[in-house]
Homo-oligomer: A and B are copies of this chain.
Amino acid sequence: MLRVVSKGATSLSDQTPFVLIDVTRMDRNILVMAEIAGRNVVSLRPHVKTHKIPAIARKQVEVGATGITVAKVSEAEIMADGGLDDIFIAYPVETEAKIRRAILLNEQVRLILGVDSLEGARMLSSVARGEGIAVEVRLEVDTGLKRTGVRPQEAVELAGEISKLGNLDLTGIYTHRGVVLENEVMTLDLEKAGYQEGELMVSLANQMRESGIKLDDVSLGSTPTAKYAAEVEGVTEIRPGTYVFYDRMQAKLGACSLEDCATRVLATVVSRPTSGLATIDGRSKTFATDVQPGKEPLGLEGFGRIIGHPRAVLERLTEEHGMLALDEADDLGVGDTVEIVPNHVCSTVNLHDDVYLHSADDSIQKVRVAARGRVW
């Protein structure tokens, strides 16, 4: 049983930097999203990219999730080994080795694969035929993020061609999330984005059904848009990920409050060279740098929110140093511990081999981020 405090040194706070997860907050976040899904009679299939830990995925399923979402075959393998038995790889699986590994997994769990092109679907079909099995697939639609996914205007035709391929069972369509642009910049209007993406996807699914394709699932992602998308008649599933922990970006987006954020990074002041600067051991290998300060539309100040020091700004991160700009009156000194809500928790957790779960009884459990480093 370990105790972490904000000042002075105990055995755990001596070992900064590390990620500490408040289990009470996490459990509440898991429950609230399950209730949103339940209320709207849609399935919940959380993306586990945020935590990458089978035990947390099992918690999500225990309180109502139908199954889980992953981005890679290797992550699916870790989750299957960890007892999860209904897994959607929401990513184009398009090289032969990856398809073969996925097919092996298909014998062990219910597996759904993403597809977004005819070439990709043909390769899947061909490998599945060789193995003499049918693979369940969903077609990805790009509703504005311009990453993967077929464009909406081409989706119905592509679905038709995929549905004719042998050894594939096209059961649904999916998207990550829609965007609302203003002067070509993404806005924070997530309510509008959620409804828009929902309506667009349902409309596409209906057009596909009218053309004779049997589709069950209309699946939409994204923590900040999920609760709006779930309300749209015809949407059958939501796939939020970040909600399990939430983070500073989600708070800024209005998807949660800072109080809902279950994850903090603990770091130690290693130097206070001037009155305006405290340098901490939380660095670019501790905090993800993908959500940069100042960048629109979020415009976050610094790389994280420092709890109890509202005027401190985590201005710079280099490989081994984090630079906290401080008010001169701030008495943070060498050896003091700070707690920081990171800008983007998913990519931050991904930097750590282990995280620490802090329970209501004050016990702390070290847990392996089992699917970290699984690259394909």
Task: Please list the residues of chain A having a beta carbon within 8 angstroms of any beta carbon in chain B.
Answer: 9, 11, 14-18, 49, 71-72, 91-92, 94-98, 116-117, 119-120, 123, 142, 145-151, 268, 270-274, 277, 279, 281, 284-286, 288-290, 292, 317-321, 323, 333-335, 346-347, 350-353, 372-373, 375-376
B352–A97 contact, CB under 8 A? Answer: no
- A317 nearest in chain B by CB position: B290
Beta-carbon contact of A150 and B270 below 8 Å:
no
What are 30 inter-chain pairs, A to B, with CB distance below 8 A? A9-B96, A9-B97, A14-B96, A15-B95, A15-B97, A15-B98, A16-B95, A16-B376, A17-B375, A18-B375, A71-B320, A91-B320, A94-B270, A117-B273, A117-B334, A119-B333, A120-B334, A142-B273, A145-B318, A146-B323, A148-B271, A148-B279, A149-B273, A284-B288, A284-B290, A284-B347, A285-B347, A289-B290, A350-B351, A353-B372
Q: How many copies does the complex hold?
A: 2
Taking a contact as CB atoms under 8 Å apart, the answer to whether B146 and A273 are in contact is: yes
Residues in chain B near residue A116, CB distance under 8 A: 271, 273
Closest 4 CB pairs of A and B: A14-B97, A353-B373, A148-B271, A147-B321
Could you tell me if A270 and B148 are in contact, using CB atoms closer than 8 angstroms?
yes
Q: In the complex, which of the residues B72, B149, B284, B321 contacts A148, with contact meaning CB atoms closer than 8 Å?
A: B321
Contact yes or no, A11 B97, CB < 8 A: yes
Q: How far is the CB of A73 from chain B (nearest CB, A)?
A: 10
Q: In the assembled complex, how far is the CB of residue A242 from the closest CB belonging to chain B, in whole angstroms?
A: 10
Give the distance to chain B from A364, nearest Cβ to Cβ, in Å: 15
Distance A270 CA – B232 CA, assembled complex (angstroms): 30
Min CB distance, A373 to chain B, in Å? 4
State whether B119 touches A335 (Cβ < 8 A).
Answer: yes
